[in-house]
Amino acid sequence: MPITKLQLYLKNCDQAIELYQKAFDATVDAIYRNESNLIAHAEINVFGQCVAFMEQESDCIIGNTMQFSFYFNKGDEEIIKKAYDILKDGAKVELPLGSCEWTSLIFCLVDKFGVNWLLCVD
């Protein structure tokens, strides 16, 4: 059976992994380093989903059209609030934490690593 992985190519992967561990209570499943001690491949578990990392040594494009979205059930609002409180520092907030026409709680932002996130109640 295939496994879906969300793959991120970032600078400062160690810092990103640390941030996402705090924001999402993520656990590290694997970290492999290259001869320069940079992350060649890493995987963390975020809400049962595998997010994989590879250190990007050259300049990368930020603000593309990809967005990592997590939809939660009613009653999981504290998870969304915690993630927002941690991820908003140094981020470009597109939609601050709040409600909109179709959900009682949502936020969209591009974090300080250039990753576009959307979390909301489904």
Domains of the chain, first to last? 5-55 (3.10.180.10), 68-121 (3.10.180.10)
Least confident range from 36-45, 56-65, 89-98, 111-120: namely: 56-65
Residue with tokens 């996402």: 20
Beta strand ranges found along the chain (DSSP E): 5-10, 27-33, 39-46, 49-55, 68-72, 92-100, 103-110, 116-121
- Band of the pLDDT at 81, cuts 50, 70, 90? very high
List 6's β-bridge partners, or say none.
51
Average pLDDT over residues 40-64: 84
Average pLDDT, the chain: 90
Task: Round to whole Å and give the CA distance between 115 and 92.
Answer: 10
Q: pTM of the full predicted structure? A: 0.81
